């Protein structure tokens, strides 16, 4: 093996290291082969899964200037580190930082201001939670909540009558878990001017005067109500981001793909300018604003050599939702839901309008993120992608279908043949899997959350959370590997033929996820030259029984060489 000279700043003095770089050490030598390297952090005595098939395992790495500059054995790395901080990992597992490819970062909100209904299991709990929130907030202020799921209490949808009595002085808006439906109380409906006949406002013939509003809103009625909710002050939005950043660090998430709005970008840029951003963000804006995005990129509004931002904040994608959700029965299917006689859901967009937008945005070089849940919606998204290719030809566009929850068998193969990425939510498998057999029937269940079928067909699958508090990447790995529903009724896995291996699930959160955001040369793996984003966990995910995966804890998260969460060092709080 050839020798080479590598210049290293070793304890502050330039020396020449004569090294056999492999297998003991792979290192960054700089463009001239002898550029000084000043190591700032090193890990030794670890089990480091690099994500690189050519060298999947090493036991040490070194960081300089926010990047990995060497990987290899502990003795070589410790010598290379010199006076830099060296962390003895003690044989813990080190992984590339997790990348959440589908989240709404700011929707976590400020936990002191948002009513979280995720744990509600009955009408009584629902009402009590709202009564408590009303008592804790000034009269006249809005109560905004989220995460309720009527399937947890027998599938009876809530009604404004449930909460009117306990919230007479507070307008209330409560989003369902999948954000496609919400419940408003009477005061909120009045303030928004939502009335019987407003499109998307559900009514019921339960009064002496005929149909009356139930308070359940979708579509246009939902948008009409949300338009009158006062926008949070910038300080509150900044606080919501700070909360999300802390939650991300605890979960080992070092990058996210954020599905949001232009207002969100202002929050992210303030954090970046203030030095508060501890998470890399790839942001998507609504497809209807593609012209604004094109102009912003053209004038380099986001900075960077291509006008789309830097390694912390990048903008270059547009998103559009094709249908609703399973809990709201607004996900679009070819056949009716099996627990109703008439509902098939419906597309939430006008195909001709969206086609024109997608073709224009694609022509401008933007990545398309099409959200689709039901089989009919997924087929519509895939059909549209083929029309774009027919119009503009083949290029590296990395068209994405977000969620891709319920597919027909024939459409599974189209993800591979069309090189379409599936950006899925694995934790929803064990949450929604409790009811899908009843809602869709066993035949459609076989290709619900079809991770194994997609990978076997040659598709690229990435994983996200939806909202970051809906399960960490470790929870998502557990869900993808075991498919054991949260009710404990499927100990061998719900639709077990769709299970993945741990390594396949890891790649969906790392190497594949980086590829989905055009960042595969910078993140997703721990190889020389990539950004030093990694997570250390206290147990080996690849060696423990799959059912033990939820017990694994993140003990350190590092982003760009900076430790943002720490349970290892003695001085850590």
For 446-460, the pLDDT digits (tens) are 999 999 999 999 999
Phi, psi of 418 (to 5 degrees): -95, 0
pLDDT at residue number 178: 81
DSSP code string of 253-298: EEEEEEE--HHHHHHHHHHHHHT---SEEEEEEEGGGHHHHHHHHH
- Averaged pLDDT, 488-517: 98
For residue 538, which of 527, 550, 547 has the smallest C-alpha distance?
550
pLDDT at residue number 573: 44
Confidence check: pLDDT of 569 > 90: no
The first and second tokens of residue 321, run together, are 């939702």
pLDDT at residue number 180: 83
For 137-172, the pLDDT digits (tens) are 999 999 999 989 999 998 899 999 999 999 999 999
Q: How far is CA 475 from CA 364, 375, 468, in A?
A: 37, 26, 11
| Preceding peptide of 23 cis, ω within 30° | yes
- Averaged pLDDT, 208-235: 90
d(CA 327, CA 435): 9
pLDDT band for position 571 (cuts 50, 70, 90): low
pLDDT at residue number 2: 30
pLDDT at residue number 14: 26
For residue 345, which of 530, 515, 218, 189 has the smallest C-alpha distance?
218
Least confident of 94-103, 152-161, 312-321: 152-161
Percentage of the chain surpassing pLDDT 70? 91
DSSP-derived letter for residue 302 is T
Burial 530-558 (b: 16+ CB within 10 A, else e): bbbbbbbbebebeeeebeebbebebbbbb
Q: Domain boundaries in the chain?
A: 4-91, 105-226, 234-559
- Averaged pLDDT, 237-262: 96
- Averaged pLDDT, 314-341: 91
Residues 284, 318 contacting (CB under 8 angstroms): yes
CATH top-level class of 4-91 = mainly beta
3-state secondary structure of 428: helix
The first and second tokens of residue 517, run together, are 């955001």
pLDDT band for position 9 (cuts 50, 70, 90): very low
Confidence check: pLDDT of 193 > 50: yes
Least confident of 8-22, 31-45, 200-214, 367-381: 8-22
Q: Angle formed by the axes of helices 375-392 and 351-363, to 10°?
A: 40
pLDDT band for position 19 (cuts 50, 70, 90): very low
Residue with tokens 């076989």: 446
Is it true that domain 234-559 has CATH number 3.20.20.140? yes
pLDDT band for position 109 (cuts 50, 70, 90): low
For residue 323, which of 414, 410, 406 has the smallest C-alpha distance?
406
For residue 113, which of 227, 230, 225, 240 has the smallest C-alpha distance?
240
Tell how strand 41-44 and strand 60-64 pair up: antiparallel
d(CA 438, CA 312): 43
CATH value of 105-226 in 3.10.310.70, 1.10.3720.10, 3.40.50.1000, 3.90.1310.10: 3.10.310.70
The first and second tokens of residue 166, run together, are 């306990």
Confidence check: pLDDT of 26 > 80: no
Q: How far is CA 199 from CA 182, 196, 328, 345, in A?
A: 14, 9, 16, 16
For 424-443, the pLDDT digits (tens) are 999 999 999 999 999 999 99
For 60-82, the pLDDT digits (tens) are 999 999 999 999 999 999 999 99
d(CA 524, CA 420): 19
Confidence check: pLDDT of 3 > 50: no
pLDDT at residue number 107: 77
d(CA 28, CA 562): 19
pLDDT at residue number 32: 38
pLDDT at residue number 206: 63
Residues 512, 520 contacting (CB under 8 angstroms): no
Cα 258 from chain centroid (whole Å):
7
pLDDT band for position 219 (cuts 50, 70, 90): confident
For 253-277, the pLDDT digits (tens) are 999 999 999 999 999 999 999 999 9
Higher local confidence (pLDDT), 56 or 107: 56
Confidence check: pLDDT of 20 > 50: no
Confidence check: pLDDT of 232 > 90: no
The first and second tokens of residue 280, run together, are 């890399």
């Amino acid at each position: 093996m050839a020798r080479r000279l590598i210049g290293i700043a070793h304890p502050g003095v330039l020396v020449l290291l004569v090294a056999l770089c492999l297998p003991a050490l792979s290192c960054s030598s700089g463009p001239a082969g002898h550029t000084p390297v000043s190591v700032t952090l090193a890990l030794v005595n670890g089990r480091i899964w690099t994500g690189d098939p050519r060298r999947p395992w090493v036991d040490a790495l070194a960081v300089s200037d926010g990047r990995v500059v060497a990987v290899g054995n502990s003795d070589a790395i410790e010598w290379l580190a010199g006076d830099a901080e060296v962390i003895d990992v003690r044989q813990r597992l080190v992984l590339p930082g997790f990348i959440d490819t589908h989240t709404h970062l700011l929707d976590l909100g400020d936990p002191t201001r948002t009513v979280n209904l995720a744990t509600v299991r009955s009408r009584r709990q629902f009402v009590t939670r709202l009564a408590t929130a009303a008592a804790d907030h000034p009269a006249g202020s809005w109560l905004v909540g989220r995460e309720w799921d009527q399937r947890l209490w027998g599938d009876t949808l809530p009604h404004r009558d449930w909460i009117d009595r306990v919230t007479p002085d507070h307008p209330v808006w409560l989003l369902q878990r999948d954000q496609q439906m919400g419940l408003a109380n009477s005061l909120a409906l009045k303030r928004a001017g939502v009335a019987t006949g407003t499109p998307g406002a559900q009514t019921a013939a339960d009064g002496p005067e005929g149909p009356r509003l139930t308070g359940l809103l979708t579509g246009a009625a939902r948008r009409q109500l949300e338009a009158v909710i006062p926008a949070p002050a910038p300080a509150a939005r900044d606080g919501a981001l700070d909360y999300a950043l802390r939650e991300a660090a605890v979960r080992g998430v070092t990058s996210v793909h954020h599905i949001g709005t232009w207002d969100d970008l202002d929050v992210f840029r303030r954090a970046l300018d203030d030095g508060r951003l501890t998470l890399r963000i790839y942001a998507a804006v609504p497809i209807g604003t593609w012209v604004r995005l094109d102009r912003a990129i053209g004038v380099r509004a986001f900075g960077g050599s291509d006008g789309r931002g830097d390694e912390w904040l990048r903008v270059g994608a547009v998103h559009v939702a094709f249908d609703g959700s399973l809990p709201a029965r607004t996900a679009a299917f070819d056949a009716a839901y099996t627990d109703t006689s008439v509902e098939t859901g419906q597309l939430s967009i006008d195909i001709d309008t969206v086609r024109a937008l997608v073709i224009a945005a694609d022509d401008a070089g933007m990545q398309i993120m099409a959200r689709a849940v039901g089989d009919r919606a997924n087929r519509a998204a895939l059909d549209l992608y083929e029309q774009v290719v027919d119009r503009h030809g083949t290029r590296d566009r990395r068209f994405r279908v977000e969620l891709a929850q319920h597919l027909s068998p024939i459409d599974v193969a189209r993800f591979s043949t069309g090189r379409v990425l599936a950006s899925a939510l694995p934790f929803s498998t064990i949450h929604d899997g409790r009811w899908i057999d009843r809602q869709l029937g066993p035949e459609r269940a076989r290709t619900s959350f079809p991770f194994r079928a997609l990978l076997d067909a040659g598709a690229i699958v990435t994983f996200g959370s939806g909202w970051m508090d809906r399960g960490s990447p470790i929870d998502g790995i557990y869900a993808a590997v075991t498919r054991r529903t949260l009710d404990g009724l499927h100990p061998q896995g719900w639709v077990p033929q769709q299970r993945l291996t741990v390594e396949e699930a890891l790649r969906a959160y790392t190497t594949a996820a980086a590829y989905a955001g055009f960042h595969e040369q910078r993140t997703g793996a721990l190889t020389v030259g990539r950004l030093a984003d990694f997570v250390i966990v206290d147990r080996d995910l690849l060696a423990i029984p799959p059912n033990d995966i939820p017990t694994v804890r993140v003990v350190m998260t590092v982003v760009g060489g900076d430790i943002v969460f720490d349970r290892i060092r003695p001085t850590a709080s």
